[in-house]
Amino acid sequence: MLRERTYEHILHEGDGNVALVTMNRPKKRNALSLDHMRELTACLKGIGEAGESSVVILRGNGPAFCAGHDLSEMVGREPAFYRHLFDVCCELMQTIQSLPQPVIAQVHGIATAAGCQLAATCDLVVASEEARFACPGVKIGLFCSTPMVALSRAVGKRKAMEMLLTGEFISAEEALAEGLVNKVVPVDEVESEARALAVKIAEASPLVVGVGKQAFYRQLEMPTDQAYAYTKEVMSFNATFADAQEGMCAFLEKRSPEWKSR
């Protein structure tokens, strides 16, 4: 059972089998301070461990999704501070991708620098028409090196390099064309569209979705022959699940499956 916890910088609520995690620093455009990132990581890990939700929607209050790192806490620090800051940031990103539940970024306004990284790290992205994405660190003398990891895995290398070298914004439509975004909808529909996508995903067995998500990221960087060797073992193991047997039988019997998550 996921214990309720009060956070300073985020809001967490359950809506059926969908967990809603809302960044709640609107005056700072949800900039990622150390404490904010720690809270996001703790909340997401708690959702993963509790297993009560099948999908997570990550969103932001106020005029923006996320404006990147909180620069106000990054001036005049020692090297050890910066290493710790980026350690915490990388832990957050890795937590999102290691979570059994798919994470949908619901993006409005801007998603810049580490905020763009955050969106690119999520498994799926639903963006409003006015959303804009950028990695503008080069403009302030701090190249977006860690955002580059997620960005370069989401879009082609030419577009990633263009965004990193110029720091210029791209529109939601361009982000869609480049593979950074899954869907672009009017601003008043972004919440309902993200919710509809989450509900669709939640129709599947949470156990099977979690296994599939883990396998997806593991096989991405493998050579083709190694990826097939790995995924055939995953699929063979998956086929022994009670949910796999139930799903196949339900299909053959033309009925809806009843998942047991085992």
> Does 221 share its domain with 156?
no
Residue 124 lies in a domain: yes
What CATH number does the domain containing 226 carry?
A: 1.10.12.10
Lateral strand order in the sheet of 124-128: 10-15, 18-23, 55-60, 103-107, 124-128, 183-185
Give the relative orientation of helices 206-220 and 224-239 as an angle to the nearest 10 degrees. Answer: 170
Q: Let me know: does 105 contact 58? Beta carbons within 8 Å.
A: yes
Q: How many domains does the chain have?
A: 2
> Does 127 share its domain with 239?
no
- The average pLDDT across 44-62 equals 96
Residue 193 lies in a domain: yes
Structure confidence by residue, pLDDT tens digits, 119-157: 999 999 999 999 999 999 999 999 999 999 999 999 999
Residue 260 lies in a domain: no
Mention every residue, 6+ apart, whose C-beta is less than 8 A from residue 120.
147, 150, 151, 153, 154, 155, 180
> Does 190 share its domain with 222?
no
> Does 215 share its domain with 194?
no
> Does 239 share its domain with 185?
no
Structure confidence by residue, pLDDT tens digits, 169-183: 999 999 999 999 999
Range of 237's domain? 206-252
> Does 115 share its domain with 141?
yes
> Does 27 share its domain with 125?
yes
Q: Let me know: does 70 contact 23? Beta carbons within 8 Å.
A: no
Structure confidence by residue, pLDDT tens digits, 7-40: 999 999 998 899 999 999 999 999 999 999 999 9
In this prediction the pTM is 0.95
Nearest alpha-carbon partner for 123 in 203, 215, 39, 52:
215
Residue 4: per-residue pLDDT: 56
Residue 3 lies in a domain: no
